[in-house]
Structure formats: C-alpha cells, structure tokens
Amino acid sequence: MASLQIRDLPEGLRRQLQLRARLHHRSLAQQALCDLEAVAGGDPSARRQQVLQRLRDYWQHRSPVDWPESPEDMLHADRER
C-alpha cells in the first residue's frame, strides 16, 4: 500500500484533525485517511454497489423494451452495410 507524507501542516488544521480523530476514536493517520476518502468520493467498491442498486431500482419499475427486430437481425443487417 502506498504512503503519503504531509509537510508543513498548519497547526490549526492539525488540531482540527486531531479533534475529529478523538471524536471518532481513531488515530490521526486513520482520520486523515477517512477524510481523504470522503473527499475523493468514498470507497470505489461501495460507490459501485450504490450505482448498481440505483440502476436496479430504476429499471425494476419500467416495462421491457419491445424491439421491432431481434438484436441478432440488427447486427446482421449492420454487418451487411
């Protein structure tokens, strides 16, 4: 796993981060990682699952699409162009 070193961290920001870490019972490094992950959009796996669930919910209440011809016929016609 990669590491990140932050230099010249302003004292006020360090205190704020330390306070948040104490409130969440985390180390300073754990809190910084959680905050960075939240700013960057969270855990990619969790985001992917949320998007998939929204897609399932969206399409669950829709009627199926009735195509005038089969997908195979459309592909065959497209290849013959």
As given in the structure block, the two tokens for residue 68 are: 């005038």
CA of 4: how far to CAs of 31, 32, 36, 72, 75, in Å? 14, 10, 11, 52, 50
pLDDT digits (tens, 9 = 90+) for 54-74: 999 998 888 888 888 988 999
Nearest to 17 by CA among 2, 38, 43: 38
**Whether this model's pTM surpasses 0.75:** no
pLDDT digits (tens, 9 = 90+) for 27-52: 999 999 999 988 887 777 888 899 99
